Structure 1
Amino acid sequence: MANGTNNRRAGRIYVKVDGQQYDAKGDFTYNLGADKRDAIVGADGIHGYKETPQIPFIEGAFTDAPDLDLQKLAEGDNLTVTLELVNGKTIVLSNAWFAGEGGVTTGEGEISVRFESRKPAQEQK
């Protein structure tokens, strides 16, 4: 294409925790942590909205590996988690902690992971 626009929007991802790349599996979800707005409705109409905080997070699954230390991962605190997307964006969650349950399925060695933070996640392009 003449303008250099990339048509690829989704697919391959890379996940790193404190610089160590893990085997990401399936879909990951994230929330930057922006305030959620909910309408305030009165008997006479819409009065406005209220804002409530949301938890910034990155969530998905890793495939277990011989060198993956699940106990260390599950005890993780003050972590930097990056989610690199094929569309050129990188989501960075800093000062994060492991908020998953630490369960593993043996059929495919799948570990559900969730990382949360008090600080909003940063979207870099």
Structure 2
Amino acid sequence: MASSAGMRRAGVGAGFINGVPYDIIECRYSPARWTRETLKGQNGIHGYSENPQQGRIIMSIRDAGGMTVRDFNDMSDAEVQLQLATNKTVGGSGLWCTEAVEVSTGEATMEVTFEGVSVTETPTS
């Protein structure tokens, strides 16, 4: 009989920026390398164009007294790592924070977006 731990498919175990752990509310990530657009003409579909796509990790985190929100805006060579509940690891290095971070004081939450040349995912073995 399989254990219930082997059935877990969702959730984040931990999130780190430059080795510092943060209180994670939710995350999204994209390791996509390409974006494609269909090329259409009046006589039909001609094919597609292909352009590079940046990797992206978006984290919704909780503000805390020991952190300075403005510091995120200065992050331009960051290492971001997620350890997912499935034991998959998602991460990238040399990432930059692309959004002006705003804090919602009602819940002390903020969304930080990091982008870069590559975001990788390492599945569980």
Pair 1:29–1:35, CA change in 2 (3 A): same
Q: Is the 8 A contact 2:12 2:24 kept in 1?
A: no
- Report how far residue 90 of structure 1 moved: 1.1
- Report how far residue 54 of structure 1 moved: 1.9
Q: Is the 8 A contact 1:101 1:112 kept in 2?
A: no
- Report how far residue 110 of structure 1 moved: 0.7
SS at match of 2:70: helix
1:104 counterpart = 2:103: yes
Query: Match of 2:122?
Result: 124
Q: Distance in 2 between matches of 1:41 and 1:68?
A: 50
Q: What RMSD, in angstroms, separates the aligned Cα atoms of the two structures?
A: 2.1
Q: Distance in 1 between matches of 2:14 and 2:99?
A: 19
5+ long unaligned stretches in structure 1: none
Identity of aligned residues (%): 31
TM-score, normalising length: structure 2: 0.86
For this pair of structures, how many residues does the alignment match?
A: 123
5+ long unaligned stretches in structure 2: none
- Report how far residue 108 of structure 1 moved: 1.0
Query: Match of 2:20?
Result: 20
Q: Tell which deviates more after alignment, 75-84 or 34-43.
A: 34-43
- Report how far residue 8 of structure 1 moved: 0.8
TM-score, normalising length: structure 1: 0.86
Q: How does 1:1-125 map to 2 (within 5 A)?
A: 1=1, 6-25=6-25, 27-117=26-116, 119-125=117-123
Q: Distance in 2 between matches of 1:65 and 1:41?
A: 50
- Report how far residue 47 of structure 1 moved: 1.9
Q: Distance in 1 between matches of 2:121 and 2:11?
A: 18
